[in-house]
Structure formats: structure tokens, C-alpha cells
Amino acid sequence: MKKYPVAKPYITAEDKAGVLAVLNSDQLSLGPVYKKFEKKFAKKIGVKYACAVSSGTAGLHLVLLACGIKAGDEVITTPFSFVASANSILYVGAKPVFVDIDPLTYNMDPLKIEAKITKKTKAILAVHIFGQPSEMDPIRRIAKKYKLQIIEDACESIGATYKAKQAGTFGQAGVFAFYPNKQMTTGEGGMIVTNDKKIYEICDSLRNQGRANNDQWLDHKYLGYNYRLDEMSSALGVSQLAKLDFMISERRKIAAWYGNILKPLSNIIQAPVTAANNTHTWFVYVVKIKNKKINRDLLMKNLKKAGVSTKLYLPSIHLFDFYKKMFGYKKGDFPIAEAVSSSSLALPIYIGLTKKDCELIINALASQIDKLNKVK
């Protein structure tokens, strides 16, 4: 059988021409292209300001700083995410306080937030996992009631909507990421979006060594960082953004094929669920194996031998060693997140997969599950 990777970027001749034009221009950083990328991105998402940064993680770090989150503060978030969302809270010296997830969408369960609010709580960091937004109305109600800020980690959900509103536009600021496995890529890169001028200005300064906004190159107002996005990456961003709608519609087509092929297998494999208020942009296509006795890791290994690469999405953050050591978290603290972590895997999803490929991949999955069932 053909070999299937889990993810693959979609790079066209236009992407290459854009990057090459920058290389021929002699201006490889802090030129006109990152500004152009920001302007187009802000327009696309429908916000006033966009601030290009070197990664999604860098963007989260800057937003937390700009929101004034600091040592001693608590930030409510989900344990079922890529580690960067919780790590960014640690970068500013604050404490990530986890709440368990919804068993169908795998996003933070809003019903579990209020019990975790203390006098130290300053913000809710909502992560829109796998390509669909968190349930933002109840999150916004709680934030208003307790005067908390909302920060959105939209790194996996560019273009997705909740009640027809774009992910990343519900709180003080949102962050997107462009690592090569995301829906669009700049190689490495990220983008902060906000309607708050002050947040934008602080992020703009901090990404460039805390430079004052007065053209005095060496006047440093704050302790800043080098989180700039270079011009080659920005050029890739401009051309990728121009085909984002196409790339999302291709991902939706593949997800719909998978969904149809999985229907008759619903007693053994749980397909992803899109909440009624949401549109999904399919960063990953994650299925859950229903038989808890199946050794998921062995299943992934066997699939790999059969030519289908899969990926563990995602381990629960509270069970990483340093989180356990720092905060005393243990197995059983967030049972829904842990159950999803131990039984799910991401299937290949990238532009170029055909319906036939999807059938072959699901056939391989079903037959490997069958084999493992027989071993028992």
C-alpha cells in the first residue's frame, strides 16, 4: 500500500515565487511584507489589528503579557491541548488551572469553569481544539460575571466559526499559528489578532525587543523579545492566506469522505463531532477507538507498518512530568481528557488525499482493530 503521512503542507508555484521575490529584494526582515501580511490577515479575520510573530507560542506569551497576567495570577484553561497553551501561562509566572473537557467536542466544558474561579483568577485561556471553537457564549457570560479577560488560542482553528463569528475574535485577543501541519503555513510563525489598540501596541513593541514606538531604534521601553516574523515567512503567509478558503474547503471535503466511510463502523470507531453552533476547519481528523481494551499505541504501530502514519492527539498536559511535579497533578484528575488521550488518534489529512485514499486508510484502520480484537 501507498504510504500516508499524517500531515503535509500545500505549497504552490505562487508560494515559491513570493518567497523568492523577497530573497531578491535584499530586505529579509522588518520590510514591507510582514505589514502586508498583517493587513490582509486582519481583514480576513475581521479585526482591527494583527501582529505577526515568530510562532503561535510566542504570540500566546505576548498576549498574556499584554493582558497584564503575572506571577501569582491564575488562568483557567484546558488540559487537553498542545502543551504550548499551558506553557505560555507558566512563562509569565502564572498558574494554569485546568478544567475538564466536553466529551464530544474535546473543548473546555464551560459548566466546570465556575468551580475553579478564585480571587487570583485573571483570565480564561480558551483553546479551540482540532479546528472547532469552544462554546463561547457561556465562557463570555462567566468572564463578564467575574471580570476575567478572555484569551483565545485559535492556533488549530483558523477560519472556524461559533455562531457565525470567527474564532479568535471573542475576547481581548486571539492567537493563530502557522507551523507546517496547520491549515496554512509560514514554516514557523504566528499571528496575534485584537480590536484593542493598547494590546496591539504592547505586542508590537515586545516582539521587537520592547522598542519604543518612536522610530528610535535603540530606545527600549520594556523588557522585550525577538519574536519577529521574517519577510520570507511573511511572503509565504501572504500567498497561503490568499488560498486559505480553498485549502479549508479541501479539508472539509476530506473530512466529509472520512465521515461517510466511518458511518457503518460507528460501533467500533467514534468519528469527530462538530457542535451545532460551529463550523470546523479540520486541523486534524481525530477518531476515538471505542473498545477500551484495544492497545491504541500498538494499533498506531501496526498501522504505521501498513503504511498509514497516525499521531497521538493529544496527551493531557497535566500528566506531563513537570506539571505533575510543579502542581501535584495525577492520573484521574481530569478523567474525560485522559480517556480521550488514551483512546484517540489522528488520521492523515492533507490536500491531495482522494476518496479512494480515505477508503484505504479506514480499511487499514478497521482491519488492524479487528486483528487486535482477535488477539484478546
Give the three cell numbers for residue 365. 484502520
Per rule CB under 6 A, is residue 81 in the interface with ligand PLP?
A: yes
Q: Which is nearer to ligand PLP, 154 or 303 (CB)?
A: 154
- Which residues in the 164-223 window bind ligand PLP by CB under 6 A? 177, 179, 190
Q: Which is nearer to ligand PLP, 143 or 317 (CB)?
A: 317
Min separation Cβ 145 and ligand PLP, Å: 26
Min separation Cβ 188 and ligand PLP, Å: 6
Min separation Cβ 159 and ligand PLP, Å: 15
Non-local (6+) Cβ contacts of 12 within 8 A are 239, 243
Cα angle: 94, vertex 172, 111; to 5 degrees: 70
Stretch of residues binding ligand PLP (CB under 6 A), selected from 9-17, 19-27, 82-90, 204-212: 82-90
- From candidates 153, 204, 230, 250, binder to ligand PLP by CB under 6 A: 153
Stretch of residues binding ligand PLP (CB under 6 A), selected from 80-88, 91-99, 255-263, 293-301: 80-88
Whether the CB-CB separation of 109 and 100 falls below 8 Å is answered with: yes
DSSP string covering 251-297: HHHHHHHHHHHHGGGTTTEE-----TTEE---S-EEEEES-TTS-HH
Closest to 28 in 3D by CA, of 19, 37, 39 = 19
Q: Which is nearer to ligand PLP, 60 or 362 (CB)?
A: 60
Per rule CB under 6 A, is residue 156 in the interface with ligand PLP?
A: yes
Give the three cell numbers for residue 38. 498583517
Site size toward ligand PLP, by CB under 6 A: 14
State how far the Cα of 96 lies from the Cα of 13, in Å rounded to an integer.
43
Q: Which is nearer to ligand PLP, 85 or 105 (CB)?
A: 85
State how far the Cα of 225 lies from the Cα of 231, in Å rounded to an integer.
18
Q: Which is nearer to ligand PLP, 63 or 177 (CB)?
A: 177
Q: Which residue has the cell 501572504?
A: 238
Q: Which is nearer to ligand PLP, 179 or 282 (CB)?
A: 179
Sign of the CA dihedral with 337 first, then 342, 180, and 6 last: negative
Cβ-closest position to ligand PLP = 56
Cα angle: 101, vertex 269, 317; to 5 degrees: 30
- Which residues in the 91-130 window bind ligand PLP by CB under 6 A? 127
Q: Which is nearer to ligand PLP, 57 or 105 (CB)?
A: 57
Per rule CB under 6 A, is residue 84 in the interface with ligand PLP?
A: yes
Whether the CB-CB separation of 69 and 89 falls below 8 Å is answered with: yes
Give the three cell numbers for residue 74. 491564575
- Which residues in the 244-273 window bind ligand PLP by CB under 6 A? none
Whether the CB-CB separation of 81 and 157 falls below 8 Å is answered with: no
Min separation Cβ 25 and ligand PLP, Å: 25
Q: Which is nearer to ligand PLP, 82 or 323 (CB)?
A: 82
State how far the Cα of 83 lies from the Cα of 177, in Å rounded to an integer.
14
Q: Which is nearer to ligand PLP, 175 or 308 (CB)?
A: 175
Min separation Cβ 248 and ligand PLP, Å: 16
Give 226's strand partners: 208
Give 77's strand partners: 98
Per rule CB under 6 A, is residue 56 in the interface with ligand PLP?
A: yes
- From candidates 41, 57, 257, 340, binder to ligand PLP by CB under 6 A: 57
Cis peptide before 314 (omega within 30 of 0): yes
Give the three cell numbers for residue 2. 501507498
- From candidates 34, 41, 80, 82, binder to ligand PLP by CB under 6 A: 82
Contact positions toward ligand PLP, by CB under 6 A?
55-57, 81-82, 84-85, 127, 153, 155-156, 177, 179, 190
